[in-house]
Amino acid sequence: MEEFSNKLLKILGKVPAGIMIIPLVLGALINTFCPQILQIGTYTTATFTSAGTIAITGVFFVCVGAQLQVRTIPKVIRRGGTLLFAKFAIGALLGIAVGRFFGPDGFLGLSSLAIISAVTNCNGGIFVSLMNIYGDETDVASVSLLSINDGPFLTMVAMGTSGLASIDLLSLLSTVLPIIIGMILGNFSSKIREFLDSGTKILIPFIGFCLGGGINLSNIVKSGFSGILLGLISAFVGGVFILVFDKLIGGRPGYAAWAVSTTAGNAVLVPASVALVDPSLETAAAIATPQVAAAVVVTAILAPIMTNFWAKKFGSPKFPKKEAVNAAVSTT
């Protein structure tokens, strides 16, 4: 049994964002072909179907918020703040433009909700891993600031302020309050922060399964191309835009821009969270969720490749330019 568990963990580790994507696919398979299995009520239905998404996600936000350290923000405000602003700006601009020019149907099947959800949320785990290879301590610490874009808050800000969704201030507060509570707890006590840190990992597969419980695989087949396209937009359109900001404003070589050009696994839950506040977006959220899930996988593959290529060509703190070629080869 232990050998089987080790093999399962290895499989999860090989699949990009596998800890969320694999449970999500399993949940979607059950919901598509035999949804009645988990609809027996009480704890089973609340834990393993879309009925549990809200509660589990809320707890997850508390755990994520506890990892945000106020004292680290002044040190990384220029570097992390530049990446955060650029990441949010390109996602919001693209999403708002699509909404204005193409309407609810979106561009090639991609709605404003899908674009903003995917492009504004970055995968902190991939960013930290790449910064450990190519960057320095300030780069690694920047993830505490970049974590602000985890979840639906910035997506709601973009959708609400642009008029693409009906989202009031109280709704925004109700969404971000669990993160704020977690942040207060995490900064109050390092032991509480360490305790809640385990929740950021343990809850992810449950969230994935619950989200999958609301997905019909026929929709994934229909949106397959658009999901890949969304990943390419997040990786390359977003990457180039962030690169310009990172070089001109941050004064950096640009490797971090590619590392942040991912779609977070957490972003899969964003469309549903936004639709919870604005029910008129429920249809768009149902289509956007599998698209964002596809973008998670695409960007998880492309970001390390592009970060390695850029550091190889232009250097980084760990690998000065003249040493970058040999160092980059040794890490592949």
Q: What stretches of 276-318 adopt beta strand conformation (E)?
A: none
Where residue 42 sits, what CATH number does that domain have? Answer: 1.20.1530.20
Which residues have C-beta within 8 Å of that of residue 82, sequence separation ≥ 6? Answer: 245, 246, 249, 250
Cα dihedral 150/176/199/282 (nearest 10): -70
**Contact (Cβ atoms closer than 8 angstroms) between residue 314 and residue 255:** yes
Q: Is residue 6 part of a domain?
A: no
Q: What distance in Å separates the CA atoms of residue 202 and residue 83, rounded to the nearest whole number?
A: 28
Range of the domain at 264: 18-331
Supply the pLDDT for residue 328. 40
pLDDT at 72: 62
Report whether 320 contacts 307 (CB < 8 A). Answer: no
CA distance 220 to 240: 28
Is 7 contained in some domain? no
| pLDDT on residue 192 | 92
- At residue 233 the predicted structure's pLDDT band, cuts being 50, 70 and 90, is very high
Give me the DSSP letters along 29-51: HHHHH-GGGG-S-HHHHHHHSGG
Domain-located, residue 8: no
Q: What is the mean pLDDT of the chain?
A: 76
- Residues with Cβ within 8 Å of 229's Cβ and at least 6 positions away in sequence, in order, are 108, 110
187: in domain: yes
**Contact of 207 with 60, CB cutoff 8 Å:** yes
Question: Does the pTM exceed 0.75?
Answer: no
* Structural domain count of the chain: 1
Give me the residues paired with residue 110 across strands: 107
Q: Is residue 151 part of a domain?
A: yes
More confident residue, 21 or 162: 21
